[in-house]
Structure 1
Amino acid sequence: MGNRKSSGESRPPPLYNLGSTGLAEAILQTMDQPLLVLRYDLTVEEANSAFYRLFKVDTEETRGRLLYELGNGQWNIPELRRLLEEILPQQSVVEHYRLEHKFPEIGKRIMILNARRLPPEGDRPELILLVISDRTETEQARFELEGHVEFGEKLIDSIREALLVLDWDLKVVRANQPFYDAFQVSPADTKGRLIYELGNRQWDIPRLRELLENVLPDNNAFDDVEVEHDFEHVGRRIMLINGRRLDHLDLILLAIRDVTEQRRMEKERETRVGELHHRIKNVLTTVDALVRRTLRDSGSLEEFGHAFESRLGAMARTQDLLVRAPKGSVDMSEILRLELQAHGGREGGNFNLDGPAIALPQDAVQAFAMAVHELTTNAVKHGAFASHEGRVEIRWTLEAGEEGATLVMFRWRERCPIIISPSRTGYGTSVLEAAFRHTLKGSSRLTLHPDGAEFSAEFQV
């Protein structure tokens, strides 16, 4: 808008004497707000130093010039014209007139104009005083502050964790929706309340008091402090709390993460890992026993290979059932059906199952499955499954046992000629006795009839 002359250069005398004592001139130049004195025809009578500094013009380019011509027409602003040509002629004073304009050299300015008409006096014609208050930086700061406030509010609302903003008296300034949802409280019962009073004093938690009253004032922050508490409406919750003291705002920020479900899952995972370790140990122990006993009872390496492969397959099938079982228990009929079908059995054909549903606990499943495997293997080698006419009838009933346990009455009956009579008590018989007498804490009995074998057992689950 032009180059200012140095302060040492002389200035043209004013067109009119504003005051014989120079007091008016001194006031004019002392003001830190830009000020213009205009004649009735809107030519510039006088401008103060603040005007020259802000708009970067000099006296020769300003005094005596039409206001709209200043700075190569930069002051030819429609809203300024409206003020001076339409509003001010009808009013003696106009205050707080807002004007925005982008100047080529100094950029966009936001100005508040106060204008006053001075009627003629003596040889002085009518004048207009125009005071310009530059609000650009103030409004920019206000805009940025509003932006920061909006950013903070939206940031708080976007966080999925429960969030509380407290003042230094520990009263709630605001909370986000996840806080209201997680702890089933309303904004009306939360904002402006002391944190310890929330929810009928449910938040009066000793550990939280210690954090807010002792830890935070000394350290300005704390991270991931685990607090466990019983709430009236939502039950026992485990929370990780982070706190920050905002000294320049006199606020405290509390972020609350509910880890109740996470801790439950961690505990459940630890339990399952422990159960898995126990199961693996049991499986390895069982495999070792299988190897030793099968080797002892085998007449040749080939016989050992066939017997061990068969028993290991039965173990694998049982483990598969246990892995798929949601709570570690398996229905007894499922164990029987799986083992019989693995040896060519056809339900409704050469075998029948008849009995109520009974879930065997995990520690009983393996023993019962190995016993069924031995019964099935014996049927294939010596009994019902060794003959096309043979069949197996399996029945069980349930009775009340001791101390609330269930007593299972189990009966395996084969119908067929006995093809081969075992000459000695083999591993199969040992497994049956060990399974029902020792592992299942019951009893068993094997009876050979002219038309096939019968095995009966009683055990508690």
Structure 2
Amino acid sequence: MPDVLLEHSLTHAIVETIAEPLLVLDSAFNVIGANPAFYRHFEVEPAETLDRSVYSLGNGQWNMPALRHLLGDVLNKDHRISEFRVEHMFQSIGKRIMLLNASLMCRGGEGDTILLAIDDITEAESLRFALEGQVDFDDKLIDSIREGILILGWDLRIHRANLSFYEQFRVEKSETEGRFIWELGNGQWDIPELRRLLETILPDENVFDDFMIEHNFETIGLRTMLLNGRRLDHTNLILLAIRDITQQRQQEFRQKALMGELQHRVKNILGKVRSMAVQTRKRHRNLDAFFEAFDGRLAALARTQEWLVTTPSGAVELREIVIGELEAGGAELGVNFTADGPVVCLSPRDAQTMGMTIHELTTNAAKYGALKVEKGRIEIGWSVKRKEGGDHLIFCWREYGVKIENFAPVRGFGTEVIERSLAYMLGGSARLTFTPDGADYRLEFPLPQSNSGKQYGPVA
């Protein structure tokens, strides 16, 4: 008898000290015992619990179909059931998610007893759901970043990478996760500067920002990258952000080159304007006459600049210059002038010079030549000939319908420009002659060889 009492006392003590809620039921499912954890957790009193049917507890709140099914199986079939999941809304404590563990104990003449342990996993499930949600959020956040992201362990093995990394560097997930970063792309990421960052700088500093690396990858070519790294001490991870600035750097170089070319052009234009002003002033004592001549030459220069700016290639067709300058001087194509020749694209330097040449020829024709008389006409033609050293442009200007004895030419600044200055600037030769019925001008100069991808000279 003392042994029985001792065993009963020990069992009671164990039940009392168990942290999870515990119920002891008889074969009719009446509560014959409950531990303090049950009373605390479900906010009930012993008087409302003991000697009552488990289904009547809490004003019938425990009358759950799932619990009835569980207890019936314990008595009739299995004798033991583990982690039977039940979700239930209690009036007093709200929704609870529980894992029920039930075991049938036979006590001989005293009848069968069911031990029902209740593991409330509501908070754990809530934390798990929140954690899964956070993980899902983090995954989607990382994948939405345009920069390539690598998450490494402290051993520099890759835990994961985002979509931008896979797309930018053309690697597969199966070839990335679980590998050392140096192994990516058959060793293409074994970059000395990157090794120094990850193995030396990051362990000491815990962070590095905007470290620029240039590297030539076998699959995607030369890349310029900005690297940002963070050592995450609480997770033993490294966050490596890789921003591919290759296109940005190329654009910066192009912009710098364009600015240099623009400065060079502006300098040349200002030099030409100054030269035009000085030379025009020498030939004109009257301010009105100076202004008229200077304004025309300045307008011709401006027209050429407009063609250069609006042409993406930076080259201008000779035909555009010829027609544009003559029409600006009042001539009409097919009426008092013709223009015939192959498609020839001129470099910015040659285009400016040819614009001034044709402007001076047009001005002379308007003052003294074919454009001054009603029946005058101008035939303009050009061709390209292959000579030693490259292609040469042959440009011809022939005026008809004007009697030279009546309109004696004046060799002023314009004549000097088209015979000497402009020919010299083009690196060629020019000759202006007068015939009984007009004037004849021939200009020849070499077309430059482009080494920048722009097409100058004749176009097929």
Mapped to 1, the partners of 2:388 and 2:233 lie a distance apart of 69
User: Residue 398 of structure 2 aligns to which amino acid in structure 1?
Assistant: R
Per-residue CA deviations over 1:388-419 (Å, capped at 9, x if unaligned) read 2111111222223454x422222111011236
Mapped to 2, the partners of 1:213 and 1:283 lie a distance apart of 55
Equivalent position of 1:415 in the other structure: 400
Could you say what secondary structure the match of 2:378 adopts? strand
Mapped to 2, the partners of 1:166 and 1:20 lie a distance apart of 57
**Unpaired runs of 5+ in structure 2?**
448-460
Residue 94, structure 1, aligned to residue 97, structure 2: no
Could you say what secondary structure the match of 2:354 adopts? helix
Residue 25, structure 1, aligned to residue 1, structure 2: no
Aligned match of 2:96 in 102, 109, 115? 109
Q: Is the 8 A contact 1:165 1:253 kept in 2?
A: yes
Residue 219, structure 1, aligned to residue 205, structure 2: yes
User: Residue 199 of structure 1 aligns to which amino acid in structure 2?
Assistant: G
Aligned match of 1:425 in 397, 411, 420? 411
Q: CA deviation at 1:180?
A: 2.4
Does the C-alpha gap of structure 1 residues 88 and 274 become closer, same or farther in structure 2, counting only changes over 3 Å? farther
Aligned match of 1:370 in 352, 356, 359? 356
Mapped to 1, the partners of 2:47 and 2:207 lie a distance apart of 62
Residue 343, structure 1, aligned to residue 315, structure 2: no
% same residue:
49
Mapped to 1, the partners of 2:171 and 2:84 lie a distance apart of 48
Q: Is the 8 A contact 1:35 1:130 kept in 2?
A: yes
Q: CA deviation at 1:299?
A: 4.1
Mapped to 2, the partners of 1:125 and 1:239 lie a distance apart of 78
User: How do 1:186-335 residues align onto structure 2 when only pairs under 5 Å count?
Assistant: 186-335=172-321
Per-residue CA deviations over 1:123-152 (Å, capped at 9, x if unaligned) read x23321111112122222222222222222
Which sits farther off after the overlay, 442-451 or 359-368?
Answer: 359-368
Aligned match of 1:125 in 111, 122, 127? 111
Q: Is the 8 A contact 1:390 1:414 kept in 2?
A: yes
Mapped to 2, the partners of 1:170 and 1:20 lie a distance apart of 58
Per-residue CA deviations over 1:5-62 (Å, capped at 9, x if unaligned) read xxxxxxxxxxxx9866511111110111111011222221110011112112221121
Mapped to 2, the partners of 1:304 and 1:266 lie a distance apart of 44
Per-residue CA deviations over 1:316-348 (Å, capped at 9, x if unaligned) read 111101101223221212211111121222223
Mapped to 1, the partners of 2:112 and 2:340 lie a distance apart of 119
Aligned match of 1:66 in 53, 77, 85? 53
Q: CA deviation at 1:383?
A: 0.8
CA RMSD of aligned residues (A): 2.0
Q: CA deviation at 1:235?
A: 0.9
Mapped to 2, the partners of 1:368 and 1:280 lie a distance apart of 18
Mapped to 1, the partners of 2:330 and 2:189 lie a distance apart of 66
Does the C-alpha gap of structure 1 residues 46 and 409 become closer, same or farther in structure 2, counting only changes over 3 Å? same
Mapped to 1, the partners of 2:436 and 2:416 lie a distance apart of 23
Aligned match of 1:446 in 428, 432, 435? 432
Mapped to 2, the partners of 1:107 and 1:89 lie a distance apart of 32
Does the C-alpha gap of structure 1 residues 398 and 456 become closer, same or farther in structure 2, counting only changes over 3 Å? same
Q: CA deviation at 1:64?
A: 1.6
Equivalent position of 1:52 in the other structure: 39
Mapped to 2, the partners of 1:19 and 1:69 lie a distance apart of 33
Per-residue CA deviations over 1:148-183 (Å, capped at 9, x if unaligned) read 222222222222222222222212222233322222
Could you say what secondary structure the match of 1:386 adopts? coil
**Unpaired runs of 5+ in structure 1?**
1-16
TM-score w.r.t. length of structure 1: 0.90
Q: Is the 8 A contact 2:74 2:102 kept in 1?
A: no
Aligned match of 2:373 in 370, 383, 387? 387
Mapped to 2, the partners of 1:387 and 1:395 lie a distance apart of 21
